[in-house]
Structure 1
């Protein structure tokens, strides 16, 4: 790791005004070029950024520390029932929050399954959404891959057992964020702050980008913008959400396959609306639209849940070593749909 300057930011707007590159932009330039040596990057929990610096993949001149900004922390319920989760809220705080565990269970479950307890106590929601993919070719200084401005994706002819089975044309990374899968299913939006104080809200479905739209980055965050919060709409009392994943190890591991399901059910078990997102499956959290359409207007049972699992695989293009993900995703989706539709326990005293 090279020497760098450290600058605490007095406010989110001040941090945005100081930052001149995103991490993705800093990784595009070779480390001995002037532009790479002049990078000023934002640092929150620092879990991902410090890894990249230790590996020599980014070499910033200065880090702007936002980790102590109180206005970027905490979970607040708005007057309309929506939620605002500050970007510096840790995964541990999200996993333990009683309100989230009741109204947005899939998000709390996803946060609880991310990384290890030590990392969850440090990792922030904003940093988790913005982390770079965990592809070993992207994270190898010896491989100048497409995502770093190189000539080709090494995964297609190399070790691709953990790579994408959807939308993997050109670049086969999978999106690394566990909470992102649940947040997209819950119709989340990110709040972005410009240095002049202008704020914009972007649906997560529009925030994340596929390689066909931009080969070099995973989202539309611009240099000089700070991700300040994630906003979640109020959930219907009849809405239920579930997040399931499979990993090689239960602790400190990224999922091999994941699914988040949100169902709005009537009293007879008829699905009025379904939102289904697959994780560890594509370069961005992947909406299973055919599965959503199959469930909407149908009674949820073993047969329709199994059919939804099969429908979710439409368009899959597994690589040489990762076809095992397809039955995993189908089975996880079936189980998540049935879990979301299961009768909920009545509160004590009711």
Structure 2
């Protein structure tokens, strides 16, 4: 790890000002569970780290009649244990409560989880000049692709590693981005950018911009959600595939549904064909296997990851059963 300067601003405006100077190579740091790993691995070497722990207003949750606002410095453990999240936003509680290890959940923050970098071992290897690091090729095309994407790949075949992003997308969350030009809100799905937009990035944040708040709308009556994932080990591993699903039954019919996949695409992947199948269909006529097949329709697996197609489809099947059989 190379030497770097560490600063702790006392206000959001000061933090934005420090980060808006690209000539200093500044990077924000919250829990540091991902960024410090990148630095130790030699993947990135920022000259300046801007710590956010002293910036007021970024940590904590506010419950209102319209939903919940979560500061992005709130830890994943705090989110997973919050009574309102557990009772009203089940998918988020499950996503935050099962990712990584307890130690990482105690340190890692919501903002960091949303903005973490991919786990592709070609990207993470300091000696591999892949496309994402300004090189001229994706080494996974001729190498190992076991953990990479089956949907939405374009030149680069990473999967987005965030568990909470998948759950937040299914729950209709929005995020506040604060930067030199002020604050703006956007649906959480618009925060992420696939390789077709910019192969070197995973989100749309500009210089000096920070995700400062996540807002969840109040669930409608009868709505329920679930987050499921498959991984090689129960403790610590990233998802091979995951799904966050939410439904709102109305009488005997599925009035609304959202299905978002993780671990299979460069961004949280909204399975619109599965949603279309579920919405408006009588609960008694819903076939979770059909929803699962539709969720992965159009998948183009690489040479080592065809297993993800069936894995993701079965997770959707299980999620639908969990939500509609109860």
Relative to the length of structure 1, the TM-score reads 0.90
Q: Is the 8 A contact 2:227 2:242 kept in 1?
A: yes
Q: Is the 8 A contact 1:242 1:336 kept in 2?
A: yes
Structure 1 segments of 4 or more deviating over 4 A? none
Q: What is the root-mean-square deviation in Å for CA atoms of aligned residues? A: 1.4
State yes or no: 1:263 paired with 2:263.
Answer: no
| Counterpart position of 2:213 | 229
Q: How far apart, CA to CA, are the structure 2 residues paired with 1:114 and 1:302?
A: 33
| Counterpart position of 2:108 | 123
Q: Is the 8 A contact 1:301 1:338 kept in 2?
A: no
Residue 218 (structure 1) aligned to one of 202, 208, 214: 202
State yes or no: 1:73 paired with 2:59.
Answer: yes
| Counterpart position of 1:276 | 259
Q: How far apart, CA to CA, are the structure 2 residues paired with 1:324 and 1:302?
A: 28
1:90 positional shift: 0.6
1:70 positional shift: 3.6
State yes or no: 1:51 paired with 2:34.
Answer: no
Deviation per CA, 1:181-229: give whole Å up to 9, x if none.
1001111111111235x11011112111111111110110111111111
1:139 positional shift: 0.6
Q: How far apart, CA to CA, are the structure 2 residues paired with 1:103 and 1:21?
A: 40
| Runs of 5+ consecutive residues of structure 1 not aligned to the other structure | 23-34, 344-350
1:301 positional shift: 4.5
| Counterpart position of 1:11 | 11
Q: Is the 8 A contact 1:20 1:39 kept in 2?
A: no
Q: How far apart, CA to CA, are the structure 2 residues paired with 1:55 and 1:322?
A: 26
- 1:14 counterpart SS class: helix
Q: Is the 8 A contact 1:242 1:262 kept in 2?
A: yes
| Counterpart position of 2:299 | 316
| Runs of 5+ consecutive residues of structure 2 not aligned to the other structure | none
Q: How far apart, CA to CA, are the structure 2 residues paired with 1:9 and 1:300?
A: 53
| Counterpart position of 1:248 | 232
Q: How far apart, CA to CA, are the structure 2 residues paired with 1:172 and 1:61?
A: 29
1:305 positional shift: 1.4
1:257 positional shift: 0.8
| Counterpart position of 1:200 | 184
Q: How far apart, CA to CA, are the structure 2 residues paired with 1:59 and 1:331?
A: 41
| Counterpart position of 1:173 | 158
State yes or no: 1:238 paired with 2:226.
Answer: no
1:55 positional shift: 1.3
Q: How far apart, CA to CA, are the structure 2 residues paired with 1:299 and 1:93?
A: 37
| Counterpart position of 2:85 | 100
* Count of residue correspondences: 326
Q: How far apart, CA to CA, are the structure 1 residues paired with 2:47 and 2:157?
A: 31
State yes or no: 1:190 paired with 2:190.
Answer: no
- 1:121 counterpart SS class: helix
Q: How far apart, CA to CA, are the structure 1 residues paired with 2:225 and 2:285?
A: 17
Relative to the length of structure 2, the TM-score reads 0.97
Q: How far apart, CA to CA, are the structure 2 residues paired with 1:14 and 1:342?
A: 51
1:245 positional shift: 0.4
Q: How far apart, CA to CA, are the structure 2 residues paired with 1:100 and 1:303?
A: 28
